[in-house]
Amino acid sequence: MRSLLFVPADSPRKLEKALSSGADALILDLEDSVAASAKDAARRSAAEFLRQARKEARVPKLIVRVNALDTGLTDADLDAVIAQSPDAIMLPKACGGADIQHVSVKIAVREAESNLPDGTIGILPIITETAQSLFEMGSYRGASHRLRAMTWGAEDLATDIGAETNRLEDGQYTPPFMLARNLMLFATASAGVDAIDTIFANFRDSATLERECRDARRDGFTGKMAIHPDQVAIINAVFSPSEAEVAKARRIVEAFAQTPGAGVLALEGEMIDRPHFLKAQRLLERV
């Protein structure tokens, strides 16, 4: 997934419009963008949208962001949407592998009740929204077969630690938030899943968004979340490998296939080894 677009689940109009945004995934939001008084309506809207969207021939991945475990609202969120088989549940304010296991059990029960195969629905946690979460980064590895990818957030973390801002004047993140970002990147690599970059809130600043996407891709992120449809095209463009990159990856994979057991090969004047092979494989899988 290159682009994951947040859409308030209590707005059927925005949900319908988001289908044509070009995003690889839609995040139906039951958490921050929905007022407390509108939670029930949002659940009904999300469930109906999932039910109708499944009738379409081609739809983006459909992810539901539920409310955090400590709110007491998670069970009602899951009750409303699991039967409609979203591709994944996004868990905000995840504090470690134990939270993933907890939610996985909740999903498993509801999958069984809805006659869905075990593991149909994945989990995509946001793993940096509290100070406590930064000390549990290594616990996601092996936590659940449902873990599909992980992402990070800077806004709730700023509130939790009392930061006045999470950005420098040039738009870069301040050191505490770069630490959270980088730890999250290592955590995803350890867990063997994709790293999804956090949102860029100023949807009118396309130049900074593009720069942030390029920085994220350079460092190992495979996609980025969006808060506005106008951000999707930029995110997709940056996180899409070029034809030249795809062609080179194919040549690397083919070279190793033709020489089984080789540790190092020469290709086009460059020495390539197993890390090059694995990187090429991952790129082709994303394509």
Same domain, 137 and 253: no
Burial of 31 (0-12, 13-18, 19+ CB in 10 A): buried
The CA-based angle 207-209-212, given to 5 degrees, is 110
pLDDT in tens, the chain (287 residues): 999 999 999 999 999 999 999 999 999 999 999 999 999 999 999 999 999 998 887 899 999 999 999 999 999 999 999 999 999 999 999 999 999 999 999 999 999 999 999 999 999 999 999 999 999 999 999 999 999 999 999 999 999 999 999 999 988 999 999 999 999 999 999 999 999 999 999 999 999 999 999 999 999 999 999 999 999 999 999 999 877 777 777 888 887 887 777 778 877 878 888 777 777 777 777 77
Q: What is the pLDDT of residue 225?
A: 98
Instruction: Check residue 166 and report its DSSP letter.
Output: S
- Which residues lie across from 111 on neighbouring strands? none
The CA-based angle 52-147-29, given to 5 degrees, is 40
Same domain, 48 and 93: yes
Same domain, 167 and 260: no
Q: What is the pLDDT of residue 35?
A: 96
Same domain, 9 and 44: yes
Tell me how far apart the alpha carbons of residues 199 and 174 are, in angstroms, rounded to a whole number: 16
Q: What is the pLDDT of residue 138?
A: 96
Q: What is the pLDDT of residue 250?
A: 87
Strand bridging mode 223-226 / 194-197: parallel
Which of helix, strand or coil describes residue 87? coil
Last residue of a domain, which of 239, 254, 273? 239
What is the DSSP secondary-structure string of 8-70?
A: ETT-HHHHHHHTTS--SEEEEESSTTS-GGGHHHHHHHHHHHHHHHTTSSS--EEEEE---GG
Amino acid at 81: V
Same domain, 58 and 198: yes
Q: Which of 62, 55, 52, 53 is closest to 24 using CA atoms?
A: 62
Element (H, E) at 276: helix 274-286
The answer to whether 81 touches 49, Cβ cutoff 8 Å, is: no
Q: Describe the strand order of the beta sheet including 3-8 as a list of residue ranges.
A: 122-125, 88-91, 61-65, 25-29, 3-8, 223-226, 194-197, 149-151
Same domain, 151 and 277: no
Q: How many domains does the chain have?
A: 2
Same domain, 233 and 116: yes
Q: How far is CA 128 from CA 5, 60, 160, 198, 287, in A?
A: 19, 26, 10, 10, 28
Q: How far is CA 224 from CA 19, 26, 45, 209, in A?
A: 17, 12, 25, 10
Q: Is the pTM of this model over 0.85?
A: yes
Same domain, 182 and 62: yes
Same domain, 35 and 92: yes
Same domain, 136 and 273: no
Tell me how far apart the alpha carbons of residues 36 and 172 are, in angstroms, rounded to a whole number: 33
CATH number at residue 179: 3.20.20.60
Same domain, 277 and 222: no
Q: What is the pLDDT of residue 26?
A: 98
Domain of 71, in residue numbers: 3-239
Same domain, 139 and 106: yes
